[in-house]
């Protein structure tokens, strides 16, 4: 079996912001098996991107007194199989890749990609949230997040993840 693949990438990769479980795969064959990202984040304000953002006189209060906080059970089973590639020809030409914002479980894949098993379970307490862009203004806000749970963000993510990856001879 013959496999011909021509890949040309002559420019730049520009990424402004990536969140958890995000990826950029560029190439002839990209394989990602069994991605996992689990967690809990308490963020007051969160992320701010861009230029000239103004946060003025904000009062941010986050109170999260849980008795049990984010128990995670992530017993994954990962299986990856390689198969022979059938006869084919592929040509890819790119000058540049621009990514402004990639959120959780985001993917940019250029080329022959085999991405399986992505999962990202998460609990976030984020008064204010994320601010993206240019020239955003947030004035005189009062943000309160009071999360009075006894059990918080129970994540039971036991997966069987099977990947079928093509292999060139």
Residue 169: predicted pLDDT: 55
Token pair, residue 145, equals: 């997040």
Pair 114, 165: CB distance under 8 Å: yes
Alpha helices in 36-153 (DSSP H): none
Token pair, residue 63, equals: 């109170």
Token pair, residue 41, equals: 């984040």
Residue 86: predicted pLDDT: 65
Residue 93: predicted pLDDT: 78
- Exposure of 113 in the CB half-sphere (CA atoms within 13 A): 13
Tell me how far apart the terminal alpha carbons of the chain are, to the nearest angstrom: 7
* Per-run averaged pLDDT (10 residues), the chain, 169 residues: 68 83 80 80 79 86 86 82 68 81 81 77 81 82 85 83 66
Question: What pTM was estimated for this model as a whole?
Answer: 0.62
Residue 165: predicted pLDDT: 65
């Amino acid at each position: 079996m013959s496999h011909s693949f021509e890949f040309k990438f002559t420019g730049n990769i520009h990424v402004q912001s990536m969140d958890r479980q995000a990826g950029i795969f560029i190439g002839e064959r990209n394989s990602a098996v069994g991605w996992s990202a689990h967690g809990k984040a308490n963020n007051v304000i969160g992320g701010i991107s861009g230029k000239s953002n103004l946060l003025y006189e904000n009062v941010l209060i986050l109170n999260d007194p849980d008795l049990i906080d984010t128990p995670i059970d992530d017993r994954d089973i990962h299986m990856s199989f390689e198969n022979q590639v059938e006869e084919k020809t592929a040509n890819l030409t790119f000058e540049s890749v621009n990514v402004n914002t990639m959120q959780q479980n985001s993917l940019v894949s250029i080329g022959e990609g085999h991405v399986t098993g992505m999962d990202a379970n998460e609990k976030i307490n984020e008064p204010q949230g994320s601010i993206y862009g240019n020239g955003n203004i947030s004035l005189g806000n009062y943000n309160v997040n009071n999360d009075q749970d006894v059990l918080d963000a129970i994540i039971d993510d036991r997966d069987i993840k099977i990947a079928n990856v093509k292999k060139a001879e």
